[in-house]
Amino acid sequence: MYALKAPDTRRQYPQRFKIFLDFLKLEGALEKQARYFLSKARNNPQWAEESFMRFIGFQIERTKRGEISESTISNYYKAKLFCEMNNLILNWKRIRRGLPHGRNNKVKVPCFFFGNYISLESNR
C-alpha cells in the first residue's frame, strides 16, 4: 500500500487486485493468492504476461456486453503496481497493446516537468 496515495485507490485496489487473482483461479485469501502469483510469475514471466492479456480480453468482452465501460478496464490494469513493487519485470508494452484506447479510455500519465508533477491525459 506504500505506493498508493489517494484514499479511494487505497480502498479499491485490494478488491480489484483480488478480482484479477480470482480470475486466475488462485485459491485462498488475497495475501496467499498474491504470494502464489508472485512466485509463479517469477518462475514463468510469460505465464504472467499471458494471464494479464487474458484478463484484459475478458474485461473487453464485458464492455461489449455492456457490463462495464471501457474506461473501467484501466482500473484493473493497475495490478501492474503489485508487480512493479515486487520487482517483477514483465513486458508491459506487450500487455498494454490489448487495452482499448481513444476518447473513452483516458489514462492519466504522471509527467515530471520543471520540478512539478503534472497529470497529462494520454490515449495509452
- Cα 78 from Cα 59, distance rounded (Å): 13
Could you tell me which residues come within 8 angstroms of residue 68 by beta carbon, excluding any fewer than 6 positions away? 59, 62
Residues 6+ apart with CB under 8 A from 42: 88
Mean pLDDT over each residue of the chain, to the nearest integer: 77
The confidence score (pLDDT) of residue 48 equals 94
109-113 average pLDDT score? 40
Q: Where are the beta strands (DSSP E) in the chain?
A: 107-113, 116-122
> In whole angstroms, how far apart are CA 42 and each of 9, 79, 108?
26, 15, 28
pLDDT by residue (tens digit) across 12-55? 768 888 999 999 999 999 999 999 999 999 999 999 999 999 99
Point out the least confidently predicted range of 7-16, 72-81, 93-102.
Answer: 7-16
Which residue is listed with cell 520487482? 87
